[in-house]
Amino acid sequence: MPLFLGLYLGHVLGDFAFQPGRLVVAKRRGLRGMLVHTAIIVAGTAIVSIGQLHSRWPAVLLAGISHFAIEFVTVHARRVTQATGLAILTLDQALHLASLVLVATLFGRDSVPVLFTQEVSVRLLALTCGGLTVAFMGAILAFEVRTSSHEAARKAAEVLGYDGKRIYGMVERATAFAGAVLAPLPVVGALAFLPRIAYAMTRPPATRAQHLTEAAVGLALCTAVWALLKILTTSTI
């Protein structure tokens, strides 16, 4: 578990936090973009686990190689199939998670949980992964859900930009997740979505649908991540 969480944290940072739209476009156009993206993944994974890098470097390297291979497959699938962005995202992340589980199984026997140079608890590392997942990956997931059933919207916005709306969504989901973790009752976290829902009720139908979709995806993702981490950390500690 400690090694998997370390590899996953690097994956979330490289695949979502540090992958700007220009790099997404470059990755889809050729190998140079894929190589740059993979280098960022490897560097991010190495940095967040630097306190254990002397023993983890084979796992970090293999995770990077696997990431490049999966990107090659999913980028090609995007080009040659009529699958929606949501379907490609689901396939891509499922393959990445499976590869990280495999790498962690092969190399993680004596691994300890670290965050940069500090040894931490498995719970803290898992919560860090969860918070970054709902904040950063949630933006891409909500975008793909919104556009998957609207051809015009999909063609108009192939890549999600880093604007105020995206940042608000990231803060909204992170707040909801933190509320679920810290509040006496996890359902308190859902209150973070009330301002968006209230605003949506004042907007025209199309805009209202977009905001309600964003809120629904955010709530579902926060709930799923919270429940999964609750199970994993309870069984690990």
pLDDT of residue 157: 53
Place of tokens 């859902």: 190
Q: In this predicted structure, what is the pLDDT of residue 206?
A: 87
CB-based burial label for 121 (10 Å; 0-12, 13-18, 19+):
middle
pLDDT range class, residue 152, cuts 50, 70, 90: very low
**pLDDT tens for residues 161-172?**
888 999 999 999
Mean pLDDT of 59-87: 93
pLDDT digits (tens, 9 = 90+) for 93-109: 999 999 999 999 999 88
| pLDDT above 90 for 159 | no
Mean pLDDT calculated for residue range 6-21:
94
**Residues 112-136 pLDDT 10s:** 999 999 999 999 999 999 999 999 9
Instruction: Please report the pLDDT score of residue 230 as a whole number.
Output: 86
pLDDT of residue 169: 96
pLDDT value for 237: 47
pLDDT tens profile 182-227: 999 999 999 999 999 999 999 999 899 999 999 999 999 999 999 9
Residue type, 20: P
Instruction: Inform me whether the pLDDT recorded for 139 exceeds 90.
Output: yes
**pTM, full prediction:** 0.93
Phi-psi region of 160 (alpha: psi -120 to 50; beta: other; left: phi over 0): beta
Q: Of 50 and 236, which is predicted with more confidence?
A: 50
Instruction: Give pLDDT, residue 162.
Output: 83
More confident residue, 208 or 146: 208
CA distance 49 to 104: 13
Considering only residues 29 and 157, tell me which one the structure prediction assigns the higher pLDDT. 29
Domain spans in the chain, listed from the N-terminal domain onward:
1-119, 121-237
CB 186 within 8 A of CB 52: no
Mean of the per-residue pLDDT values of the chain: 91
